[in-house]
């Protein structure tokens, strides 16, 4: 379910970019505000242990011409020692915590909350 949500967010980012000169939205809330996603819950990652909903991490400033291997969203917390990562190319994968912390987390440092 969370991977499906991440894919919907990525599709929303791509649709937004097609309407805004290739630029991804300034934040994920914009996708909801401007009708690129139907329900706000798509923008939220659900912790499978607690049911708590938290916004996906987001990297603003990317465009549809950014390399397809560039991470744009990620789950805000680990689930079963893994994190979901969505890329500008539209694919979603998961990383073990140690890999995420070493390779992906630094890319999201300083990114505003969605």
pLDDT tens-digit readout, 8-52: 999 999 999 999 999 999 999 999 999 999 999 999 999 999 999
pLDDT, one tens digit per residue, over 44-80 is: 999 999 999 999 999 999 999 988 899 999 999 998 8
CA distance 16 to 34: 9
**3-state SS class at 78:** coil
CA distance 49 to 69: 30
CA distance 87 to 60: 13
pTM of the model: 0.91
- Break the chain into its structural domains and give their ranges: 2-108
CA distance 12 to 71: 15
């Amino acid at each position: 379910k969370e991977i499906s949500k991440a894919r919907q967010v990525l599709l929303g980012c791509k649709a937004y970019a097609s309407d805004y000169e290739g630029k991804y939205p300034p934040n994920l809330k914009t996708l909801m505000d401007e009708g690129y996603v139907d329900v706000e819950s798509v923008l939220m990652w659900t912790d499978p242990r607690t049911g708590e909903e938290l916004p996906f991490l987001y990297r603003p400033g990317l465009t549809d011409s950014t390399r397809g291997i560039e991470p744009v969203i990620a789950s805000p917390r680990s689930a079963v020692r893994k994190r979901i990562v969505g890329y500008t190319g539209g694919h979603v994968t998961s990383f073990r915590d140690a890999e995420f912390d070493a390779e992906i987390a630094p890319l999201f440092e300083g990114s505003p909350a969605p």
